[in-house]
Amino acid sequence: MVLTLALLAAIALVWCLTAIVEKIRHGLSTAQAVLYAPFKLAYRISDARIGIARGAQAPVIYVVSHQSRLDPALTLSLLPDDTLHILDPVSAKSVWLEPWRELARTIAFNAEHVFVSRRLVRVLKGRGRLAVYIPEAVEPDIRSFRLYRAVIRIAMQADARIVPIFIGGAQALPFQMDGKAPAPRRWFPRLSVSVLEPMTAPELVARNGSPAASNANALFDRMAEARLATTEPDLTLFQAVRDAAELFGPGRVVVEDATGSRLSYRTLLAGARILGTRFAKLAKPGEAVGVMLPNTSGAVLSLLGLASAGQVAALVNYTSGPANVTAALRTAAIHTVISSRVFVEKAGLADVVQAVEAAGAKLLWLEDLQAGISGLDKAAAALLWRYPLHRQKAEKPAVILFTSGSEGAPKAAVLSHRNLIANAMQAEARVTITTSDIALNVLPMFHSFGLTAGTILPLVTGMRLFLYPSPLHYKLIPEVARRLKPTVMFGTDTFLAQYARTASDGDFSSLRFVVAGAEAVKPETRRVWRERFHTAIIEGYGLTEAAPVAAVNTAIHNREGTVGRLLPGMRMRIEPVEGVAEGGRLFLSGPNVMLGYMTAERPGELQPLADGWQDTGDIVKVDREGFITITGRAARFAKIAGEMVSLGAIEMLVQSLWPEERHAVVAVPDRRRGERIVLVTTATQADATSLRRLGKQAGIAELAVPGDIVKVAEIPVLGSGKTDYVATRDLAVERLNAGSAA
């Protein structure tokens, strides 16, 4: 009895002391502090930014992303007590919530009428405060999205500031709004209260320099930024995967590959630690180590092993040819390359191995490393799998990726741990992902899309990831999909079109959606996948320098012919381009934009971005709702008789004429006009007369219509699936010189 009383007294003392501290820290009322204290203790709440909400000048609307039944209790405890809270019907009547409802004024939520009520506008105009709870959804339905429109309309009528609030970690609570937790349920997860700075509706809309932008979209984007702000900014790649292991369960199988390997989070991180101990003996922390492996569990283990050892993984594009491999290794000052004898033999990469050695790098074979693993190594890794071998800061380099080289020599882009994790979380804040999803990734990790979207995103969000070693196995990949039944897939238009040609109708029927990037998705590809597999292709946009995803379409924000809208946390700037009447050259900034380049002139030396803005080299136009349309590449404009001509636009025109074939439009030197446009195509029926007729119908100047046609069996492509315009141009010049053009 005495022990019980002592325990109760200790609990009461801790409760009281916590309430006193929180009352002083945040200026809470006594009742608020007393009712907030148990939450603070149970959920170790990070609440440093709540002062922004409490200090916001009225009139103000607090927009709370409503995930769990605990959210109203928390916000009633923390927001100023003169706030009017609009609660959902369950919270408005819940018996257990009664003590918290006494802390401030509350009214019941009425989805049909409450937001059109003049009463709310009058409350705000009287220097009032309003808390609105919007159901949390990465891709809200039409009814939920109407709430964004209503809130922004009231804010504009009352000239009120908007403060977004998101409670990070609440998605793991068992008290979900719909009764279903998107992650494994945990009774006492650590919570963090994300609060963004107050902004008026016009300020929200004008942030990207587009005063005509959609108001509702501006608020939706701001709420996505609040969600993103709960991501721990100081996590390295290894730590982010470890945190995912603790959230989703160490025993959860997370990586599988075509060899039959199946790795749980615990096995994956333990294996990475073992490899990391070997890597640490061969290179210093911060040093770049090459990785030349296909999509297998060994590649993921090597990536995380290097992250554990504090080294930088330089992902070598072994499909780019010996000369490019040699140049890449020298540019990044790489002295060691991790590879596999079995892979090199099966892929026929003897010439690439010679290129690695010619660059002065030593090959480290995974087979040799695995053979030297002892029982003691395994035991130590099993105990210490949660801990990296070397402490490293998130802002330090994590990977080096080499740009595709589709229009010139590849460049070495250096991405930090923060860049990679931020980009994965930006995508997770925009596209609905659950732990029941199965991701099929056929894109190689040396391709930034295959690395971040296809590998890191599943690892940190709990998706089951299946890695297939090559995207070029057009007949085998549909069979894999039929057996695996993936729900999410990543690809490029080139690869998706090829899979559709060889697949049976039911092979991809399990897919919820396909995320496509790297090149424009052709209408024909989209149509085939929709009609045959009942699968939507979600088109996005990215570049290696942005880790790579910068914009994406979603279920509710989807406009065919565009690459979607910017990810949360990103900003864009559009600069005028000579000869381009609408739109301009796109510049990007954000947490996912790279640290800088390494160049052949200054090998191994990071050259940071001067002002944090990345020149994408893309010519774009943006509509009032923020959808981005790529109209061309700055490097893919030709100057014909003094006129600027977009080769990309001509390519799309040709595609509409022969949609089932593949085409590439290039410019070659011309003595009279400076340059002339050539069509390289797989369409055997292509003829100049049809092109001229189509150009005339489209209102395109005759000088912009290709006068020469080069017919080929296949258009040259890179390992990433992009058209290889350098090789295509060389092919066109060769055929023209030989007199074999049409």
Whether 462 contacts 183, CB under 8 Å: yes
Whole-number pLDDT of residue 179: 55
In sequence order, what are the residues at sequence separation of 6 or more whose Cβ sits closer than 8 angstroms to the Cβ of residue 118?
Answer: none
Is the pLDDT assigned to residue 270 strictly greater than 70?
yes
Q: Which of 618, 641, 613 is nearest to 630 (CA)?
A: 618
pLDDT digit string (tens) for 355-401? 888 888 999 999 888 877 778 878 888 888 999 988 888 999 999 99
Average pLDDT over residues 201-214: 67
Residue 571 is classified by DSSP as E
Cα-based torsion angle of the residue sequence 659, 661, 665, 669 in order, rounded to the nearest 10 degrees = -140
Measured distance CA(263)–CA(260) in Å, rounded? 10
Whole-number pLDDT of residue 418: 95
330-349 burial, b at 16+ Cβ within 10 Å, e below that, comes to bbbbbbbbbbbeebbeebeb
Residue 46 is classified by DSSP as B
| String of DSSP letters for 250-281 | TT-EEEEETT--EEEHHHHHHHHHHHHHHHHT
Whether 665 contacts 637, CB under 8 Å: no
pLDDT class of 728 with cuts at 50, 70, 90: confident
In the chain, what is the greatest distance between 2 CA atoms, to the nearest angstrom?
A: 103
598-627 burial, b at 16+ Cβ within 10 Å, e below that, comes to beeeeebeeeeeeeeebebbbbbbbeebbb
Whether 553 contacts 539, CB under 8 Å: yes
What the block records as the tokens of 251 is: 């025993």
Whole-number pLDDT of residue 92: 83
| String of DSSP letters for 122-187 | HHHHTT-EEEEEEEP-SS--HHHHHHHHHHHHHHHHHT-EEEEEEEETGGGSS-BTTS--SS---S
Helices (runs of H) and strands (runs of E) counted in the chain: 27, 33
Q: Phi-psi bin for 33: left (phi > 0), alpha (psi -120 to 50), beta? A: alpha
pLDDT class of 639 with cuts at 50, 70, 90: low
66 classed as catalytic: yes
What the block records as the tokens of 588 is: 């990007």
CATH number of 237-631: 3.40.50.12780
Is the pLDDT assigned to residue 30 strictly greater than 70?
yes
pLDDT class of 671 with cuts at 50, 70, 90: low
The CATH homologous superfamily to which domain 641-738 belongs is ANL, C-terminal domain (3.30.300.30)
What the block records as the tokens of 561 is: 């012919």
Could you give the 3-state DSSP secondary structure of residue 547? coil
Average pLDDT over residues 184-211: 80
Could you give phi then psi for residue 559, rounded to 5 degrees? -140, 110
Boundaries of every domain in the chain: 1-40, 44-228, 237-631, 641-738
Measured distance CA(550)–CA(559) in Å, rounded? 16
More confident of the two residues 140 and 719: 140
Is the pLDDT assigned to residue 664 strictly greater than 90?
no
What the block records as the tokens of 50 is: 């709540």
Average pLDDT over residues 435-441: 92
> CA dist 468 to 45, 255, 258, 370, 484, Å?
41, 11, 6, 21, 11
Measured distance CA(640)–CA(617) in Å, rounded? 20
Whether 235 contacts 416, CB under 8 Å: no
Q: Are strands 397-402 and 412-416 parallel, antiparallel or unpaired?
A: antiparallel
pLDDT class of 181 with cuts at 50, 70, 90: low
Query: In the beta sheet, which residues pair with residue 574?
Result: 586
Measured distance CA(265)–CA(46) in Å, rounded? 27
Whether 493 contacts 465, CB under 8 Å: no
Measured distance CA(387)–CA(402) in Å, rounded? 30
Catalytic-role residue among 66, 85, 447, 557: 66
Measured distance CA(248)–CA(461) in Å, rounded? 8
pLDDT class of 445 with cuts at 50, 70, 90: very high
Whole-number pLDDT of residue 211: 43
What the block records as the tokens of 533 is: 């597999």
Is the pLDDT assigned to residue 318 strictly greater than 60?
yes
**83 membership: H or E segment, kind and range:** strand 83-87
Measured distance CA(237)–CA(660) in Å, rounded? 41
What the block records as the tokens of 387 is: 């801990």
Cα-based torsion angle of the residue sequence 561, 565, 566, 568 in order, rounded to the nearest 10 degrees = -150
Q: How many residues does the chain have?
A: 742
Measured distance CA(189)–CA(517) in Å, rounded? 35
